[in-house]
């Protein structure tokens, strides 16, 4: 008798690779018992700052069957975004993930193709695609699915490729063969904790989101507190410091997704160009960019904060 679970699992993983995903892991769709007390404690300590949406849908964040009735499997996928080139050293910095087209567009399209493939090749399978725009603990699911371990900076890490990749999921009502978590390889290293200029990594595996440069430059609606002055190291949108110093990212390899290629106009912008950018130019340059999320006013505030 043919083991359909194994055949379906192999079909899905092969197609994920064909679509350009780095890797694909699968775990059983069930309540995240270990993560529940951690998430509750994190929220109770107000480490989400003004990100009120983190408090919403607490149960759904922990139970995929509340997002997809009858869910049996969580299919986790990684997509590389490590760039071939970086910004010039003497300018205001943006996170590497924001160099090209907004990843939500790119990954959603690939996930739709994968869901369609499953429907065509396997049959009537119900499910939903998620790219960090719904209450899904993507790093927890990726770790459960054996795609890496949660580093001390709380990013997913792999020995082969480091951490510069996006995580996405399909939650489907199809039973598959499940993968197993891998071991932690952070060891005694504290590079990320030592390098964080705002001490946002309050202890290994715990990040106070309300102290993170990414929070201040993207999520915070109010003015950046004066107490943070001088600690941003010229980051105006996001921050890559904890990833840049991680020894495992020595193994990062450039992506092969054309839509993630840097916008050449952005890459050559000097400090003066950023300081003089107009709303019209911003809207044109960043119409399909992650920077659009922060918005023109927020970006200008961050730049003004850095140059004062």
Distances (CA, A) of 24 to 21, 129, 144, 243, 265: 7, 14, 12, 22, 34
Backbone phi and psi for residue 202, each to the nearest 5 degrees, phi listed first: -75, -25
Give the list of residues 6+ apart from residue 150 with CB closer than 8 angstroms, or none: 139, 140, 143, 156, 157, 184, 205
Distances (CA, A) of 187 to 148, 194, 243: 15, 15, 16
- Active site includes 244? no
CA 30, 35, 36 angle in degrees (round to 5)? 85
SS3 133: coil
- DSSP-assigned beta bridge partners for residue 27: 74
Catalytic residue, candidates 59, 90, 132, 233: 132
Helices (H) and strands (E) in the chain, counts: 13, 10
CA quadruple 300, 197, 137, 4: dihedral positive or negative?
positive
Report the distance separating Cα 216 and Cα 150, nearest Å: 23
Distances (CA, A) of 242 to 47, 140, 201: 18, 19, 9
Backbone phi and psi for residue 235, each to the nearest 5 degrees, phi listed first: -80, 120
Pairing of strands 93-94, 235-237: parallel
Catalytic residues: 132
């Amino acid at each position: 008798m043919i083991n359909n679970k194994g055949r379906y699992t192999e079909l899905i993983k092969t197609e994920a690779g064909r679509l350009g995903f780095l890797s694909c892991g699968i775990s059983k769709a069930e309540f995240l018992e270990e993560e529940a007390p951690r998430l509750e404690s994190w929220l109770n300590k107000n480490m989400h700052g003004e990100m009120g949406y983190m408090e919403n849908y607490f149960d759904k964040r922990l139970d995929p069957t509340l997002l997809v009735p009858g869910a049996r499997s969580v299919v986790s996928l990684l997509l590389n975004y490590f760039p071939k080139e970086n910004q010039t050293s003497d300018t205001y910095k943006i996170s590497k993930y924001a160099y090209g087209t907004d990843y939500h567009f790119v990954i959603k399209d690939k996930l739709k193709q994968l869901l369609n493939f499953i429907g065509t090749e396997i049959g009537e399978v119900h499910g939903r695609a998620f790219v960090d725009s719904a209450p899904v603990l993507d790093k927890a699911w990726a770790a459960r699915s054996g795609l890496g371990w949660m580093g001390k900076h709380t990013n997913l890490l792999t020995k082969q490729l480091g951490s510069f990749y996006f995580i996405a999921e399909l939650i489907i009502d199809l039973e598959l063969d499940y993968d197993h978590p891998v071991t932690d390889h952070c060891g005694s290293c504290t590079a990320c904790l030592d390098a964080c200029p705002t001490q946002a990594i309050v202890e290994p595996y715990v990040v106070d989101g309300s102290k993170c440069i990414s929070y201040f430059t993207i999520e915070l609606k109010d003015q950046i507190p004066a107490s943070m002055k001088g600690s941003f190291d010229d980051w105006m949108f996001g921050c890559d410091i904890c990833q840049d110093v991680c020894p495992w990212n020595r193994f990062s390899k450039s992506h092969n997704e054309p839509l993630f290629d840097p916008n050449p106009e952005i890459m050559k912008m000097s400090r003066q160009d950023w300081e003089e950018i107009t709303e019209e130019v911003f809207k044109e340059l960043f119409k399909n960019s992650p920077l659009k999320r922060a918005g023109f006013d927020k970006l200008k505030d961050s730049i003004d904060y850095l140059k004062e």
